[in-house]
Amino acid sequence: MTTLAKKKSKTTTEDMSLRDWYAGKALNGLLSNPEKAGNSVEEISELAYRYADAMLRKGQK
């Protein structure tokens, strides 16, 4: 493992925004859904961030 890879692997949730955390959770669900398996990486990641944005908006109400 290169030094850069070691450094990146030490990332914690302290380095992550709430939006990124929500998107990661949404991504996990999306990737476990066989109906989404045919979508491109770009489409799935965009959808994950749309879910994250919706969660953030909902939390502000």
Domain range list for the chain: 15-60
Q: Tell me the torsion sign for CA atoms 34, 55, 15, 42.
A: positive
* pTM score of the predicted model: 0.71
Burial classification of residue 39, based on how many CB atoms lie within 10 Å of its CB (0-12 exposed, 13-18 middle, 19 or more buried): middle
Q: Each residue's pLDDT tens digit in the chain (61 positions)? A: 455 555 555 556 678 899 999 999 999 999 998 776 667 889 899 999 999 999 999 988 7
pLDDT value at residue 37: 61
pLDDT value at residue 33: 82
Instruction: Measure the CA–CA gap between 52 and 21, rounded to whole angstroms.
Output: 8
Burial classification of residue 51, based on how many CB atoms lie within 10 Å of its CB (0-12 exposed, 13-18 middle, 19 or more buried): middle
State the DSSP code for 20.
Answer: H
pLDDT value at residue 1: 47
pLDDT value at residue 23: 96
